[in-house]
């Protein structure tokens, strides 16, 4: 097995099999950030006036409506700060939308309540039908693929798109941003949650319950039908402000008594297990590399500090046995069964039918027209 090669500028490495390096040892992600993202984005907040104009447009189109936009909230820092920004700084009237997929941590629930209550906003919680959620997730476990979080991710975005369409809400605001997410995890680590064909194929092979109540919306439905034919527009306001993660956390703590998590996305107990244990233990993939590299490129973390943090395990050894047992019990399998799955032969999304080539072509077109700026491969 060849030695892992790491970028000289960030901490992405050859655990991404398609990464490339220039003669100076700088990786393709860093080069893409410099050539495609930086020319039209910076983290100074100088484009805030564009966001103000967008907000004015949203308010104008939302006149005489109960809500002028919808925001999905997980309890994490990005979505929490976005809600605060939309209400207090942009004076929007958002409906706050939360999807309960059965894995919320107690801390996430408390953080959501603090934000919503203090801002006097209305919260709509969509509860995913647990028997189908569980069955679909177990299907992905049995498929032995890295991306076992795909069912939960799909439920999140499908629910909010379907709701916005049904209730004629034209603007969806989300917490996606370049400041903390300018590097997207490779598809080998986390395949497209929007590939409904892929999801259904894995479920047809390993699932036992039909998906009658589970929220579904494939990429062509939400990218083409909802957006272009029905005028639903997705906006990422955090890209227009000076968004520094640690400052955002401090502000949330000060104003809402919001509490932080040990790492990005750990507001979900399932995602914590998936990113902290399943991926690194079974596949050798550590999502912190992408998360830290994004912060390095946006001057929020030193590479030296990132390398030191990566020397530590992404999960707490004192609690992993309890977490392992919790996941097994929640999925109604024994810990031995879960361990047998962990020990099974690793698979990739490429081992199952998908719309990868179609989606990849679509992404290449978006890249060509500079609509999509991140590397997605």
SS3 82: helix
Task: Look at residue 361 in the predicted model and tell me its pLDDT.
Answer: 85
Task: Look at residue 204 in the predicted model and tell me its pLDDT.
Answer: 98
Indicate whether 221 belongs to any domain: yes
Contact by Cβ (8 Å): 7, 29 = yes
Task: Look at residue 8 in the predicted model and tell me its pLDDT.
Answer: 98
Counting the structural domains of the chain, the total is 1
Using CA atoms, how far residue 15 sits from 6, 18, 30, 159, in Å, is: 9, 9, 16, 32
The Cα–Cα gap between 51 and 240 comes to: 6
The Cα–Cα gap between 293 and 221 comes to: 32
Contact by Cβ (8 Å): 245, 295 = yes
The Cα–Cα gap between 295 and 201 comes to: 36
Q: Which domain holds residue 223?
A: 32-368
Indicate whether 9 belongs to any domain: no
Question: Residue 266 gets which letter from DSSP?
Answer: T
Contact by Cβ (8 Å): 98, 155 = no
CATH number at residue 77: 3.40.50.620
User: For the chain, which residues score pLDDT lower than 70?
Assistant: 1-2, 262-267, 369, 371
Indicate whether 265 belongs to any domain: yes
Indicate whether 188 belongs to any domain: yes
Indicate whether 27 belongs to any domain: no
The Cα–Cα gap between 19 and 33 comes to: 14
pTM of the model: 0.95
Task: Look at residue 263 in the predicted model and tell me its pLDDT.
Answer: 58
Identify the sign of the CA torsion 359, 297, 288, 286.
positive
Contact by Cβ (8 Å): 152, 278 = no
SS3 238: helix
Contacts of 173 by beta carbon, 8 Å cutoff, 6+ apart: 69, 70, 71, 82, 86, 92, 94, 234, 235, 236, 237
Task: Look at residue 187 in the predicted model and tell me its pLDDT.
Answer: 95
Task: Look at residue 228 in the predicted model and tell me its pLDDT.
Answer: 82
Q: What is the three-state SS of 157-172?
A: HHHHHHHHHHCCCCEE
Q: Could you write out the DSSP letters of every residue in 133-201?
A: HHHHHHHHHHTT-S-TTHHHHHHHHHHHHHHHHHTT--EEE----HHHHSSPPPTTTS--TT-HHHHHH
Tens digit of pLDDT for each residue in 145-197? 999 999 999 999 999 999 999 999 999 999 999 999 999 999 999 999 999 99
Strand partners, 96: 71, 123
* Residue 46 CA from chain centroid, whole number: 26
Tens digit of pLDDT for each residue in 324-365? 999 999 999 999 999 999 999 999 999 999 999 988 888 888
């Amino acid at each position: 097995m060849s030695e892992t090669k790491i970028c000289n500028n960030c901490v992405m490495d050859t655990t991404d099999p398609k990464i490339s390096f220039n003669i100076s040892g700088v990786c393709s992600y860093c080069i893409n950030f410099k050539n495609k993202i930086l020319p039209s984005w910076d983290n100074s907040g100088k484009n805030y006036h564009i966001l103000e104009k967008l907000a004015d447009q949203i308010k104008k189109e939302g006149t005489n409506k109960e809500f002028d936009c919808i925001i999905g909230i997980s309890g994490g820092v990005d979505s929490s700060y976005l809600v605060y920004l939309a209400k207090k700084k942009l004076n929007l009237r958002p409906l706050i939308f939360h999807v309960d997929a059965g894995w919320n941590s107690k801390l996430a629930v408390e953080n959501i309540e603090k934000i919503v209550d203090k801002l006097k906003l209305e919260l709509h919680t969509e509860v995913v039908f647990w028997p189908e959620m569980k069955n679909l997730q177990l299907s992905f476990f049995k498929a032995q693929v890295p991306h076992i979080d795909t069912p939960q991710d799909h439920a999140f975005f499908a629910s909010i798109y379907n709701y916005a369409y049904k209730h004629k809400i034209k603007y969806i605001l989300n917490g996606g941003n370049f400041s903390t997410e300018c590097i997207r995890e490779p598809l080998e680590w986390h395949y497209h949650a929007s590939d409904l064909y892929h999801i259904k194929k894995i479920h047809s092979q390993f699932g036992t319950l039909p998906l009658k109540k589970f929220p579904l919306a494939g990429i062509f439905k939400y990218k083409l039908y909802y957006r272009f034919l029905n005028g639903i527009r997705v906006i990422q306001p955090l890209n227009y402000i000076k968004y520094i993660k640690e400052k955002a956390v401090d502000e949330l703590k000060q104003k809402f008594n919001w509490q932080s998590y040990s790492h990005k996305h750990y507001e979900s107990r399932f995602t914590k297990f998936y990113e902290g244990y399943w991926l690194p233990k079974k596949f050798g993939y550590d999502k912190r590399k992408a998360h830290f590299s994004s912060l390095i490129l946006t001057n929020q973390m030193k590479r030296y500090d990132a390398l030191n943090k990566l020397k530590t395990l992404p999960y707490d050894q004192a609690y992993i046995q309890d977490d392992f047992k919790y996941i097994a019990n929640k999925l109604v399998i024994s810990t031995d069964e879960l361990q047998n799955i962990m020990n099974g032969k690793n698979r990739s999304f490429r081992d199952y039918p998908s719309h990868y080539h179609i989606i990849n072509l679509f992404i290449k077109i978006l890249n060509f027209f500079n609509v999509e700026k991140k590397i997605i491969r």
